[in-house]
Amino acid sequence: MNEHRQPALLGEQQAAERLSRFHILPTQQRVQIARVLLARDQHLSADQVLDLVKAAGNRVSKATVYNTLGLFADKGVVREVIVDPHRVFYDTNTSVHHHFYNVDTGELTDIGADQLRLEGLPGVPPGTVAEGVDVIIRIRQRH
């Protein structure tokens, strides 16, 4: 009856291995952050990650969460989603896909790559290379 009190966490082993695969040294805090973050496909802000790590009974500082999420994004473990000037979301789904962003609730929902196709991608400006394509469909509550 109480097996759902705590959100499922990724095992420490698995988390550490996953970080190693991305050439990230699996320190204690990074592993704890990975355990909550990578447990499922989700979109979390830095603050939410901090809360989840603490809720799981581990201690991390705010600075480390920010540093770590930035590192994870750099290394490709997660993807930054910028839809709101107030906070950055980290998306654990790194495959090609897009998003609905509910401006009223702040909720972010995935749109599979198969549900939306981009035709005729334009060439990038000279001297630059493409890094990624973000498609955001902004929605709001009816009325």
Partner DNA sequence: GTCAGTGCAAACCCTTTGCAGAAAG
Partner DNA sequence: CTTTCTGCAAAGGGTTTGCACTGAC
For residues 76 to 95, the per-residue mask of contacts with DNA, x marking binding by CB under 7 A and - elsewhere, is: ---------xxxx-------
If one asks whether residue 42 binds DNA (CB under 7 A), the answer comes out as no
Place of tokens 């400006």: 125
Spell 89-116 as b/e; 16+ CB within 10 A means b: bbbbbeeebbbebbeeeeebebeeeeee
Instruction: Please give the residues from 97 up to 126 whose contact with DNA meets the rule CB under 7 A.
Output: none
Comparing CB distances to a copy of itself, the nearer of 14 and 102 is 102
Name the nearest CA neighbour of 32 among 52, 46, 3, 48.
Answer: 52
**Could you tell me the maximum CA-CA distance found in the chain, to the nearest angstrom?**
60
Q: Tell which one of 84, 92, 93, 95 touches a copy of itself (CB under 8 A).
A: 84
Residue 68 binds which of DNA, a copy of itself, none (CB < 5-8 A, kind-dependent): DNA
If one asks whether residue 128 binds a copy of itself (CB under 8 A), the answer comes out as yes
Distance CA 78, CA 89 (A): 10
Place of tokens 């009325």: 143
Written as six digits, the tokens of 83 are: 């839809």
Using the contact rule CB under 8 A, the part of the chain among 21-29, 55-63, 69-77, 132-140 near a copy of itself is: 132-140
Q: Which residues bind DNA (CB under 7 A)?
A: 25-30, 45-47, 59-64, 66-68, 70, 85-88
Q: Which residues bind a copy of itself (CB under 8 A)?
A: 82-85, 87-88, 100, 102-103, 109, 111, 115-122, 124-125, 127-142
